[in-house]
Structure 1
Amino acid sequence: MEGFLVALAVSFGVIFVAELGDKSQLMAMTFATRFKPVPVLIGITIATALVHLVSVAIGYGLGATLPTGWISLAAGVAFLGFGAWTLRGDRLTEEERQRAERSGKSAVLAVGAAFFLAELGDKTMLATITLATQYGWFGTWLGSTIGMVAADALAILVGRWLGKRLPERTIKYGAAALFAICGIWLIVDAIGQI
């Protein structure tokens, strides 16, 4: 039970912070201007659960076959890379914005499909893979899914109530710092194992 709770807490925290300022959050804000919040959240939840299930399967499989010291080292380096990626920032392209604004027969399907495609290969997917190599798959899957949905729900609320007044610079630096701290911690842990 303790391992599950650690996986849940760590993956929730990392993915929640990683999602802040991500293009998916920008898409959530855009969808929230066109559709009611509940169908948007349902679509995001379904897409996130599917993408993160694939992510933890990949990560858990890697974790079972590779030595843990080397996995920790690779994960630490990956987290430092995620921190740099976060500092670089994500922008919603015009094509992604238009896709988000198109209305379909079902808001849940439109949002779900757009989020599923947007998350494939995204930093939150890669971070979930990395977390799953270190922690149990179920706690990582549940925590990362809840973390992303919570961050996108926050984006919907903020987007609807405050427009675009997010302190993007503070969020960007905070997320990058969290990734760097996690990366350094994993590298130090890996050096002790190798």
Structure 2
Amino acid sequence: MLPPPGPGCIVIGSHLHGPAEKNKVSPFLVSTGVVALAEIGDKTQLLSLVLAARFKKPVPIILGIFVATLVNHGFAGAVGEWLSTAVSPAIMKWAVVASFIGMAIWILVPDKLDDEEANARRKFGVFVSTVITFFIAEMGDKTQIATVMLAARYQDFFGVVAGTTLGMMLANVPAVLVGHKFAGRLPTRAVHAVAAVIFLVLGVITLMQ
């Protein structure tokens, strides 16, 4: 007869989970949701439309976006976790609150794609061109900054990076596949307003904790 599970054990097929297992759900879901909403109408989504129209090869473009996002957000998540340990908890709390509120305001500003960012490097092939162009466009973008903030807030590198990467793919894969047909029909302002409210709520929650 097996001994009863201890207080920190995870039992397969039951509802008993350790504390770490419970905490992983929220960062992943929050990261997925806010980044997917923030990416609607963002310059990197516009870049996805440009790449799809230029190359007309969705599979290598989607793979390139995935690799570029994973590397970029992996770096951003590492920076966020480092900040959470390098800065005192009190300062970090106010920095995260200010960042969430700032993001709520920033996301309401319409985005545009520069000609240099849209100029994909054809000589490297579709996949490599997508990786390079998308990675550069994502540097300093809303979703990269959001990844830094979320990683600092939750201190869950894998949960946050997995969530933000999934959020990016949820927004960009449809743009690559059928985005040219629906780009003008998306209620971008309404979506960004919802994302702004979510960032504002995250800031308030962080402040109250």
Whether the TM-score (by the shorter chain) exceeds 0.5 is: yes
2:122 is paired with a residue of what secondary structure?
coil
Alignment pair present for 1:114 and 2:133: yes
Contact 2:37 2:192 in 1 (8 A): no
Deviation of the 1:78 alpha carbon? 0.5
Q: 1:12 aligns with which of 23, 32, 35?
A: 32
Q: Secondary structure at the match of 1:166?
A: coil
Q: Aligned with 1:88: secondary structure?
A: coil
Q: Distance in 2 between matches of 1:56 and 1:34?
A: 31
Residue 144 of structure 1 corresponds to 164
Q: Which runs of 5+ in 1 are unaligned?
A: 190-194
| CA distance 1:182–1:154, shift in 2 (3 Å) | farther
Contact 2:97–2:206 (Cα < 8 Å) also in 1: yes
Shift of 1:128: 0.6
Q: How many residue pairs align between the two structures?
A: 187
Which residues of structure 2 form unaligned runs of 5+? 1-20
Tell me the amino acid that sits aligned with residue 145 of structure 2: L
Q: 1:92 aligns to what?
A: 113
1:21 positional shift: 1.4
1:48-92 deviation line (CA, Å, top 9, x unaligned): 000111111111111123333432321121011111111112111
Larger Cα-atom Rg: 2
Equivalent in 164, 176, 179 of residue 159 of structure 1: 179
One-letter amino acid of the structure 2 residue matched with residue 42 of structure 1: L
Map of 2:192 onto structure 1 = 172
CA RMSD of aligned residues (A): 1.7
In structure 2, the partner of 1:57 is 78
Given that 1:89 and 1:172 are in contact with CA atoms closer than 8 Å, whether structure 2 keeps it comes out as: no
Per-residue CA deviation, residues 24-57 of structure 1 (Å, 9 max, x unaligned), is: 0000111111232111110100000001111111
CA distance in 2, matches of 1:114, 1:63: 30
Moved segments of 4+, more than 4 Å: none
More helix, by proportion: 1
CA 74–40 in structure 1, closer or farther in 2 if over 3 Å, else same: same
Which amino acid in 2 is paired with 1:145?
T
Instruction: After TM superposition, give the deviation of residue 158 of structure 1 in Å.
Output: 4.3
Q: Deviations over 1:111-140 (max 9, x none)?
A: 110011011111211111111112211111
Deviation at 1:185? Answer: 2.0
Task: From 75, 87, 90, give the equivalent of 2:96.
Answer: 75
User: Cα offset for 1:105?
Assistant: 4.4
- TM-score, L = length of structure 2: 0.82
Identity of aligned residues (%): 37
Alignment CA distance shift 1:105-1:94 (3 Å): closer
Task: Tell me: CA distance 1:177–1:157, structure 2 relative to 1, closer, same or farther (3 Å).
Answer: farther
Letter in 1 for 2:108: L
Partner in structure 2 of residue 28 of structure 1 = 48
Match of 1:3 among 5, 16, 23: 23
Amino acid across the alignment from 2:163:
G
